[in-house]
């Protein structure tokens, strides 16, 4: 078992990583149950795959499931309204804790609902996808998507515990696993060149689910995120912005593919990260060799590395327009996360959008 603290003072919590944890979750969740009841927010696919195991692992606690449709469509105004209405029907109180059992969509949706229902209640993340385990379950960012863009309505609302069972990802299809792997590689590319070198030799084992390799990868990525979140919880000091490596390009790719299963979030991050390194090299701040290593590694593990592989044919102007809906823009300017090399990401506020447009047109 690995326990990683997220040091946030009064809002501090632990991330517990252990194989088989879902089968004994009740020991960890007992203190969060009110009168023996836990409200579990999940989706149809996760509940079908893991619901019976999870309920058995509660050891007698009463699980009341709220089962949402799978996919990004649930992470919306209508999905939020459905969830909140159901919570109120169940008589939720401020002392209750929602259990978010699922991937990034469920974690974001349940966390946001917890932040607003009755003006706020607690929640626990039990992420079941590799992407959620290494990224979205930690850090307290909750949100829904709206017509204007991705994650534009939400709140910072930290969970009170995160329980990660690496074996849950065994229920995923290979494409979802690879999408989650992109976020693992992202942490290495931000500030851990040694970890990226390890991934170059062990990435296939992580994706294949080799237990020791996957546990190490998850723990390393979570520890990296916990460190950044503790230093910059609300992304006001610049450090947490580094976690958006690949996301400015990636969110534009998601927008062009309709935030759909045509391009999973992790796949967009992979293509966006490859583009960020290529753009850094084009600007002369990163070596072409390091950009080529990123491209080669993502290609080797089966992740998209280009606009074409992401299924995007839009012009540079169209992609830049999509980027400008990004909530991180300041004074009309959009900060970009670029890199001086592998493990050397930085925030660049000097980038001109015309330069990005021309780069993307050339990348097509």
Active-site annotation holds for 186: no
Active-site annotation holds for 297: no
Q: Which of 72, 75, 97, 141 is catalytic?
A: 141
Asked if 256 and 322 touch (Cβ cutoff 8 Å), the reply is: yes
Q: Which of 265, 293, 297, 357 is catalytic?
A: 265
Active-site annotation holds for 183: yes
Active-site annotation holds for 251: yes
Active-site annotation holds for 227: no
Active-site annotation holds for 75: no
Q: Which of 191, 235, 256, 267 is catalytic?
A: 235
Active-site annotation holds for 86: no
Closest of 77, 297, 82, 68 to residue 182, by C-alpha? 297
Active-site annotation holds for 333: no
Active-site annotation holds for 93: no
Q: Which of 72, 183, 233, 267 is catalytic?
A: 183
Q: Which of 97, 215, 244, 256 is catalytic?
A: 244
Active-site annotation holds for 141: yes
Active site residues: 119, 141, 183, 225, 235, 240, 244, 247, 251, 265
């Amino acid at each position: 078992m690995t326990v990683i603290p997220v040091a946030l003072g009064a809002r501090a919590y632990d991330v517990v990583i252990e194989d088989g944890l879902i089968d004994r979750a009740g020991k960890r969740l007992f203190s969060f149950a009110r009168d023996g009841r836990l409200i579990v927010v999940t989706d149809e696919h996760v509940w079908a795959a893991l619901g019976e195991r999870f309920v058995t692992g509660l050891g007698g606690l009463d699980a009341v499931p709220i089962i949402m449709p799978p996919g990004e469509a649930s992470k919306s105004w209508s999905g939020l309204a459905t969830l909140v209405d159901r919570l109120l029907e169940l008589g939720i109180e401020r002392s209750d804790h929602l259990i978010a059992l699922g991937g990034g969509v469920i974690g974001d949706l349940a966390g946001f609902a917890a932040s607003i229902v009755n003006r706020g209640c607690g929640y626990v993340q039990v992420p079941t996808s590799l992407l959620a385990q290494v990224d979205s379950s930690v850090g307290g960012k909750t949100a829904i998507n709206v017509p204007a863009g991705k994650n534009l309505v939400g709140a910072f609302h930290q969970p009170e515990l995160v329980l990660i069972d690496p074996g849950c990802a065994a229920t995923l299809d290979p494409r979802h696993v690879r999408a989650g792997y992109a976020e693992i590689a992202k942490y290495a590319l931000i500030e851990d060149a040694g970890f990226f070198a390890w991934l170059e030799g062990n990435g296939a084992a992580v994706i294949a689910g080799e237990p020791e390799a996957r546990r190490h990868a998850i723990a390393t990525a979570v520890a990296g995120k916990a460190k950044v979140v503790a230093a910059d919880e609300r992304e006001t000091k610049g450090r947490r912005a580094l976690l958006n490596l690949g996301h400015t390009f990636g969110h534009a790719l998601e927008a062009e593919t309709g935030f759909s299963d045509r391009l999973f979030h992790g796949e967009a991050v992979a293509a966006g990260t490859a583009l960020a390194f290529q753009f850094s090299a084009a600007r002369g701040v990163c070596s072409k060799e390091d950009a080529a290593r990123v491209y080669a590694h993502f290609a080797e593990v089966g992740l998209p590395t280009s606009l074409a592989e992401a299924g995007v044919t839009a012009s540079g102007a169209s992609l830049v327009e999509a980027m400008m809906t990004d909530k991180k823009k300041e004074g009309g300017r959009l900060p970009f996360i670029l890199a001086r090399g592998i493990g050397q990401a930085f925030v660049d506020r000097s980038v001109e959008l015309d330069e990005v447009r021309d780069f993307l047109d050339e990348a097509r």
